Chain A
Amino acid sequence: EAGVTQSPTHLIKTRGQQATLRCSPISGHTSVYWYQQALGLGLQFLLWYDEGEERNRGNFPPRFSGRQFPNYSSELNVNALELEDSALYLCASSWTELGEAFFGQGTRLTVV
């Protein structure tokens, strides 16, 4: 069974540009979660999508947004990139609210 897959593995963008990160959950999982792991800030919850809708978001500005497609895959968009957006972005999926979340390998975003 395939795990959570994320693409691209690495992404380099210039300040002010937009970045798009993609995530495919484990087959059968309907919930997708996005986390940011920035140096010195630890793992922070970004967004939760379930059944195509945004259910919850963390304490991040509106330029962090995303969506979930009918096949439950998800995109994270970061607009007007800032240097401090450089981080490892992790996607996770779970089958139920009580089940453990399974994480992908992450996308390393570097803003220069």
Chain B
Amino acid sequence: AQSVAQPEDQVNVAEGNPLTVKCTYSVSGNPYLFWYVQYPNRGLQFLLKYITGDNLVKGSYGFEAEFNKSQTSFHLKKPSALVSDSALYFCAVRDSFTGGGNKLTFGTGTQLKVEL
């Protein structure tokens, strides 16, 4: 079975400071990892994904994530946070061995609050 953990319900950061939203995963095979963002009363917007290759993945809106196989982590980062980044962030994983299509298992979400 595949699972994702987002250990922080909320992350607070000052605008202009770097931000990190943590994610760890568990899969049987090779992980396919994703980050999505959700604004209030909206669907999910894709930010970035890791399938294979370079451990540092760059995505939309200046976000990036670092895949660490030994620590089974896929933390989301941004060098300089903006107030407009305030939203709910979801990490998701798909096991390459499940054959379940793009069935994703999501973490519980981390509320990011960027303050002036």
Q: Report A's interface with B, CB cutoff 8 A.
A: 4, 6, 31, 33, 35, 42-45, 48, 50, 55-56, 58, 90, 92, 94, 97-106, 108
- Is the pair B43, A104 in contact by a Cβ cutoff of 8 Å? yes
Q: Report B's interface with A, CB cutoff 8 A.
A: 32, 34, 36, 41-46, 49, 51, 90, 100-109
- Is the pair B101, A50 in contact by a Cβ cutoff of 8 Å? yes
A-B contact pairs, 8 of them (CB 8 A): A33-B103, A43-B109, A90-B43, A90-B44, A92-B102, A94-B102, A97-B102, A104-B43
Number of interchain pairs (Cβ within 8 Å): 62
| With A43-B90, A105-B43, A106-B43: A99-B102 Cβ-Cβ less than 8 Å | yes
9 A-B pairs with the lowest CB-CB distances in the bound complex, closest first = A43-B106, A103-B43, A103-B44, A105-B43, A94-B102, A56-B100, A100-B46, A42-B108, A48-B101
Least Cβ–Cβ distance between A60 and chain B, in angstroms: 13
